[in-house]
Amino acid sequence: MTPSLALSPTVLSQDVRDHLARSIGEPLDFLDLATLRRDGILPALRRLRATRRPAVVITVGEESDRWLLGDTLSLASLLVPAGRRLTLDRDGELTPLNRRALPQLGARMAAGSAGGLSALAANSMIARSILGRPHVRRPLAPGAARCLYLKPNLQFGLQVGGSIAHVAGVVNALTDHGVAVEMLVNGRQPMVRESTPQRILPPRFRAAYPSELNSHRYHRQFHREATAMAAARRPEFIYQRYVLNDLTGARLRESLGVPLILEFNGSEVWVQRNWGRPLVFEPASDLIERANLHAADLVVVVSAEVGRQAEGLGVPEEKILVYPNCVDAEVFDPARITVEACQALRAMLGIPPAALLYTFVGTFGRWHGADVLAKAIRELAGSGAPWLDDRSAHFLFVGDGLTAPAVREILAHPTCAPRVTLAGLRPQTETPITLAASDVLVSPHAPNADGSAFFGSPTKLFEYMAMARPIVASDLDQIGQVLRGWTPGERARSTSDPAVTGLLVRPGDAVDLARGLAGAAALSPEERAAMGRRARSLVESAFSWSANVAAVLERAGAATPTAAGLS
């Protein structure tokens, strides 16, 4: 029997998938808008119309989904040959979808696109104006204690990923340093302390096509709200996480006359061109990106390679601070988590209590290497390695994303399936206990496919280290440096230096990764514990968010910055 189809804005967590399957009462395939958009419009249309379904169900979830994505989902569902079309609301109620709504949907989306083009034109004009003014640096005033934190990205669904930990780490550390932070964000940030006010701003406009126009429209709404907040609170500086097509921080810097600290994790234009789909209006997005970097008083980057990328976009070296990602070692503290809690989590996920558990937590993106890990597991299972049975080895994947379908296909082989749990998306707050319940943690990152330098600083690496577990990781730029014991401010370690906090393997090489996994199984419990202690000691001394924020505040307040930061 052909399964029915569930359409959602983003990849759904396993809990939501289970709830949806129970609500519809029949087998379901799942498809999200992000995947459809990645395919391109014509392949997406062919995919939707390829199979007749008993029913198609759309789930609109939160208020932001209903405003911005409800029409898009409804239109997509009407293109699927199906016996029934239903909407599942946030209360779990199923209601029929009116097929006669198609003309109204088309009219609303046309109007949304016109609004998006208008916003793009206005944002381009503002960006040119910013770039046309000479930049005069504003140092942070001594004792500055009020910060407006901006995260203006359009992110839907479950709030997970390294960016969530980064946001919480910076905001919580700012608070620890005596700064009163008020946040303006698209969705609630789950790991930020309750004492920090979060103003949630869902988009209040209808969808535009191409979808990148939505970020231009959201900027207009976000900037208005940020301006109102700033007028009421009078922040002494702005901290913004750079987001594609947003100029809020740059504009507020001018209107308020306060410093702007811009967190820049790499060119979003490059990311779209190389890891997603090239932007239709790329010149406008490039202009806005450069305007953000031009306006900032301090540009904070997570790796030396991102620093070089920023310089290539016109940022003076003296305006750049390089500091890797970090971890909150109190949240990620294995001493806080009981053996009973770990066993309960294993039982919930169906993992044998005595298994030697290898865990990957993260996004299934092109450079995260989840598919490489899947190939390594397939390699081990096919070779009949005795230690797999002797140690009752089991592999846990937590997360979802672009390469998830390939991972599922690789691991569906009968030799792999009994040894693997694919948990899907799980709440970010569950990560510490998941890592504590594991024996070995895996960071199988792959090189950039275009041959460009790896510029990442994986948050998961530092979370793994804080949990005092041995790590099997790719020997890839900063990852290899950190596992060799490097700390910010030191000279780079030689690639011939041994790893002291993990086992390093060749990036993107499934066979060598399989060797590393086997090597971790060969470690005695005492050796694994010693490796874990070294890892935790390193992050406690050098990779705390408190140290990160202290470096940011010091550089932002320096009258005459000199060094480009830490490398």
Q: For 334-542, CATH number? A: 3.40.50.2000
Three-class secondary structure of residue 214 per DSSP: helix
The residues with which 422 forms a beta bridge, in sequence order, are 397
| Domain assignments of the chain as residue spans, ordered by start | 4-97, 129-325+549-553, 334-542
Q: What burial class does residue 3 get, using C-beta atoms within 10 Å of its C-beta: 0-12 exposed, 13-18 middle, 19+ buried?
A: middle
143 token code pair: 């004792």
392 token code pair: 């009752």
Which string of b and e fits 336-356 if b means at least 16 CB within 10 Å? ebeeeebeebbeebebeeebb
Could you tell me which of 394, 423, 393 has the C-alpha nearest to residue 407?
423
Q: In which order are the strands placed within the sheet that holds 28-32?
A: 28-32, 4-8, 53-59, 82-88, 94-96
Terminal-residue alpha carbon distance, the chain: 57
Same fold: 129-325+549-553 with 334-542: yes
Three-class secondary structure of residue 231 per DSSP: helix
CA triplet 118, 123, 125: central angle to 5 degrees? 100
pLDDT by position in tens, the chain (length 567)? 788 898 887 777 777 788 788 877 788 888 877 777 766 667 777 888 888 998 888 886 655 455 666 777 787 888 888 888 888 766 667 788 766 666 777 788 888 899 999 999 999 999 999 999 999 999 999 988 999 999 998 765 555 566 888 999 999 999 999 999 999 998 889 889 999 999 999 888 878 888 899 999 999 999 999 999 999 989 999 999 999 999 999 999 999 999 999 999 999 998 888 777 789 999 999 999 999 999 999 999 999 999 999 999 999 999 999 999 999 999 999 999 999 999 999 999 999 999 999 999 988 887 899 999 999 999 999 888 899 999 999 999 998 888 888 999 999 989 898 999 999 888 888 999 999 999 999 999 998 877 778 888 999 999 999 999 999 999 999 999 999 999 887 888 888 888 888 999 999 999 999 999 999 999 999 999 999 999 999 999 999 999 999 999 999 996 555 444 443
HEC-encoded secondary structure of 366-396: CCCCHHHHHHHHHHHHHHCCHHHHHCCEEEE
CA triplet 44, 47, 51: central angle to 5 degrees? 155
Neighbours of 138 (CB within 10 A): 15
Q: What is the pTM of this model?
A: 0.84
Q: Report the CATH superfamily, name and number, of domain 129-325+549-553.
A: Glycogen Phosphorylase B; (3.40.50.2000)
CA 327 to chain CA centroid, Å, is: 15
Give the list of residues 6+ apart from residue 93 with CB closer than 8 angstroms, or none.
none
- What is the Cα–Cα distance from 124 to 210, expressed in whole angstroms? 17
Peptide bond preceding 210: is omega within 30 degrees of 0, i.e. cis? yes
